[in-house]
Amino acid sequence: MFRIQLEGAAGDFACHADDTVLRAGLRAGLAMPYECNVGSCGTCKFELLQGEIHNLREDAPGLSARDRAKGRLLGCQARPLGDCTIKLRLDNACRPTVPPAMRLAELTEARDLTHDIREFRFRAQGHARFQPGQYALLHLPGVTGPRAYSMSNIANVDGHWHFQIRRTPAGAATGILFDHLRVGDHIEVDGPYGIAYLRTDVPRDVVCIAGGSGLAPMLSIARGLADSEVMQERRLHFFYGARTPRDICGEELLRQLPEFGERIAYHATVSDAAAGDTPWHGNTGFVHELVRDTLMPALSDYEFYLAGPPPMIEAIEHLLLVENGVPPGQVHFDRYF
């Protein structure tokens, strides 16, 4: 066990030799800045003032050439080799509402949602405590480094952790999950993480926008809204964008929520309706276009939650922030690459 000292009067925290600086700080309840947790976004960068660090991923895209020249490191990829002193700026928006923890979880069920998205259900001892929209890091056998996947369910006392995961061609992690992991097998689940969780204290109606396996955190937010006593007057618009008709999913899961069709509305669109053999008579085009056509001109009246491929996120950011002046504080997503 090592001590990580924050420069100035910010305090210090303990870090196990096999943990990272970022995750140890979050476990201690500190407001460590981060988003992706896997080396891509660069939000968790810091300066090492004293001590020695093992860098888990030398080629992490979250560091620019300028960052490397200045000796900056990524908290999510930094494993201490002894006591250290670091310099970073804490961000209160990242202070964990539920400090992350590691637990052993058993796969209890796996079922297909589409041709390439499967729901994996795990159960661990103790309560499953997390905010709707958060994610966990799954440590899979034979895979170097954990993978970040969002929960699709909501917090519960039975220890259930549900993930809806899209198979990635030639992906090491999804190869293990889809082809080798069996019911009864155990993995380590580390979490919760993420800052794009449901804000129950916001008075605005909610918009969830998902693409691909971004369905999982948005479904968790929808379930959280339906379950929240203080959000019973909030309306929810749920948008799902897919490339082809056979990629569409989510409506049948949302139909299980009370007041679906009344205060909960589902909108789907495909960008290539002619692809494949599945007929499609619904909306066509990109999901940000459907959001624009459905909600204009009152975009600033909503609280937005986003999850999906980077091009989708960028298009929605441009629509909301640049073209229509929606305040950035009303748009929530965890940045992945």
Give dist(CA 122, CA 278) in Å, integer: 32
CATH 3.40.50.80 fits 205-332, yes or no: yes
| CATH class (in words) of the domain with range 101-193 | mainly beta
Residue 265: pLDDT band (50, 70, 90) is very high
Residue the block writes with tokens 């000292």: 5
Q: How many CB atoms lie within 10 A of CB 11?
A: 11
DSSP H helices in the chain: 21-27, 65-69, 172-179, 215-227, 251-254, 287-295, 310-317
Instruction: List the structure tokens of 256.
Output: 């299980």
pTM: 0.94
If residue 240 lies in a helix (H) or strand (E), which one and from where to where?
A: strand 236-242
Question: Could you state, in order of their start, the residue ranges of all structural domains in the chain?
Answer: 2-94, 101-193, 205-332
pLDDT attached to residue 213: 79
How far is 118 from 110, CA to CA, in rounded Å? 7
Q: How far apart are CA 184 and CA 106, in angstroms?
A: 6
**C-alpha–C-alpha distance, residues 9 and 91, integer Å:** 15
Any idea which architecture 2-94 has in CATH? Roll (3.10)
Looking at residue 327, the DSSP 8-state letter turns out to be -
The helix (H) or strand (E) run that includes residue 137 is: strand 135-139
Residue-wise pLDDT for 52-108, tens only, equals 999 999 899 999 999 998 889 999 999 999 999 999 999 999 999 999 999 999 999
Q: Is the pLDDT confidence value at 337 over 70?
A: no
**Closest by Cα among 99, 87, 123, 112 to 5:** 87
Confidence grade of residue 274 (pLDDT, cut at 50, 70, 90): confident
Which among 74, 76, 54 is positioned nearest to 63, based on CA atoms? Answer: 74
